[in-house]
Amino acid sequence: MNATTLGELIQSGYQSKSIKEEIRQNLIQKLKSGETTFSGIIGYEDSVIPDVERALLSKHNILLLGLRGQAKTRMARQMTELLDEYIPIVAGSDINDDPLNPISKYAQDLIAEKGNDTPIEWVHRSQRYAEKLATPDVSVADLIGDIDPIKAANLKLSFADERVLHYGIIPRSNRGIFVINELPDLQARIQVALFNILEEGDIQIRGFKLRLPLDILFVFTANPEDYTNRGSIVTPLKDRIESQILTHYPKTLEHALEITEQEADIAADVAEKVAVSDLIKRLIEQVAFEARNSEFVDKKSGVSARLTISARENAVSAAERRALINNESKTQVWIADLIGIIPSITGKVELVYEGEQEGPYQVAMNLLEKAIRTQFVQYFPNPEQLKKRRNTGKPSAQQKADENPYRAIIGWFDKGNQLTIPFHTKDEEKLQLLYAVDGLHALVKQFFPGANDMQTGLLMEFVLHGLAAYSSISKKIFETQIEFKDLFGSMLNIGSTHHDDDEELGFDDDEESM
């Protein structure tokens, strides 16, 4: 980096290498030393990352193919970490000319004029990355270049002179990484303009007899949905992209939790004030898994990891807002606070026709309810299996209790009792309401004896929501509160609650079993 002229660079023993060779050598060093090649990319360690590493070792251009929210662009951006920290260029060059192998007329003329005194500059690897989002209005001039009449007039040159050319973003990315996001959105005629660049490394601008052997690593991203809906990648272009790598969503809940933990933007002071239990975190992640398998959600569109990230932030904000209203210094995210994540779901799932008929709000509520149902059996016995397990003969009271640990809770509601919990209830008051339900505290302590008061309270609330999800009791969600009742009494009194019908937001679990 000490060299400031071409002569000094030559004396330093600097040797030129292509960007793909540069990346290959640096990747080899990282692999040998056991370093992480793509940091913060979770769940791809045994699938996508090895594929990308193989492609880079093979000096391939890459197409990352996958649904939205699968870290495709993030991986492309991290490839700059595989570049040398600094490289020399001819000072003033628009296309990062290598001083030892100049390709532009500007650099060639400058070196012919000044020889070893040609000034050079050093470019950091962070400046060797360019990205373009493919949109229908992208032109060949944007990507490759065009004649600049203003430059011609200022320099008093004819349009036949190469110096009147204005280079596009691709030539300006010479000796760097160039990424085109959402490649199928690029018009077919523009995609055709990339053929020569990918195969022969040269460009054509307005009929100029111009051959620039550009040195670029191309990375493209695409969504499989685009092949049929918005556009397609023309076959000859796909043929020129050597490696097509399929990305995917997190395969396990643990990976999904790690991603959300890493990405969610929770201020430190808020994190101190609002506790988020592992149960709440798992419920939020489960919503995304349920959405990806829902018959109401378009599977071709996918469900981005951004859903759970924004849902985590919204859940914490719902608890923070409640604490501010109640003037509480500390609180936790309760199950009821998860109503606050509905806006994070409705805007991030693409519905099929049946989902549109159901309505985005109702679909989001269904997904949340299914998440509760799925996670409930990870913490407590499955109520559905308990219903099926019936002994012949007349069992004793103790046998009944052993068979169904929820008997006391369901019995309390069967006696005509109901539990109404306003969304803005203070933590202390909420605990008192939950303790009023017979058998609820005893059940939680039976399975989680080490839980503290707040954890116990959350699990008690979870039991009620879980029993409602399994149609053992009834649950209705209103604008300001949640109401739990016995199942059959609620069925007999449909429409006769003390709330106005238009205030009811959710569904009645006895009417729509999950």
Helix axis angle, 407-414 to 440-447, nearest 10°:
170
Adjacent-strand bridge partners of 222: 65
Adjacent-strand bridge partners of 5: 119
Q: Within 10 Å of residue 300's Cβ, how many Cβ atoms?
A: 15
Round to whole Å and give the CA distance between 82 and 24: 8
Helices (H), ranges, 334-414: 342-346, 353-358, 360-379, 383-388, 397-403, 407-414
Across residues 15-34, what is the average pLDDT?
Answer: 96
Check pLDDT > 70 for residue 497: no
Round to whole Å and give the CA distance between 365 and 418: 22
pLDDT tens-place string over residues 94-151: 899 999 999 988 899 999 999 999 999 999 999 999 999 988 888 888 898 887 777 7
Check pLDDT > 90 for residue 181: yes
For residue 418, the model assigns a pLDDT of 94
DSSP assignment letter at 71:
S
pLDDT tens-place string over residues 458-487: 999 999 999 999 999 999 999 999 999 998
Q: Give the up-direction half-sphere exposure of residue 229: CA atoms within 13 A in the CB hemisphere.
A: 9
Check pLDDT > 50 for residue 507: no
Across residues 271-280, what is the average pLDDT?
Answer: 96
The residues, ordered by sequence, that sit 6+ positions from 81 with a Cβ below 8 Å of its Cβ are: 37, 125
> With contact defined as beta carbons under 8 Å apart, do 287 and 311 qualify?
yes
* Residue 465 tokens, joined: 């929501």
Check pLDDT > 70 for residue 354: yes
For residue 402, the model assigns a pLDDT of 56
For residue 267, the model assigns a pLDDT of 94
Q: Could you tell me the pLDDT band of residue 223, with boundaries at 50, 70 and 90? A: confident
> With contact defined as beta carbons under 8 Å apart, do 303 and 348 qualify?
yes
Round to whole Å and give the CA distance between 362 and 138: 39
Round to whole Å and give the CA distance between 463 and 375: 11
For residue 230, the model assigns a pLDDT of 57
For residue 422, the model assigns a pLDDT of 95
Percentage of the chain modeled with pLDDT above 90: 68
Check pLDDT > 70 for residue 495: no
Check pLDDT > 50 for residue 505: no
For residue 364, the model assigns a pLDDT of 95
Report which of residues 204 and 423 the model is more confident about. 423
Q: Which residue has the tokens 């109503």?
A: 339
Phi, psi (degrees; rounded to nearest 5) at 10: -65, -40
Check pLDDT > 50 for residue 501: no
Q: Could you tell me the pLDDT band of residue 392, with boundaries at 50, 70 and 90? A: very low
pLDDT tens-place string over residues 425-443: 999 999 999 999 999 999 9
Q: What is the helix (H) or strand (E) element at residue 419, kind and residue range?
A: strand 419-422
Across residues 343-366, what is the average pLDDT?
Answer: 91
Across residues 414-419, what is the average pLDDT?
Answer: 93
* Residue 432 tokens, joined: 């008192």
For residue 225, the model assigns a pLDDT of 65
Q: Taking the alpha carbons of 5, 10, 11, 16 in that order, is the dihedral positive or negative?
A: positive
Q: Could you tell me the pLDDT band of residue 491, with boundaries at 50, 70 and 90? A: low
For residue 209, the model assigns a pLDDT of 64
pLDDT tens-place string over residues 115-129: 999 999 999 999 999
DSSP 222-291: E-GGGGTTT----HHHHHH--EEEE----SSHHHHHHHHHHH----HHHHHHEE--HHHHHHHHHHHHHH
The residues, ordered by sequence, that sit 6+ positions from 235 with a Cβ below 8 Å of its Cβ are: none
Q: Could you tell me the pLDDT band of residue 294, with boundaries at 50, 70 and 90? A: very high
For residue 506, the model assigns a pLDDT of 45
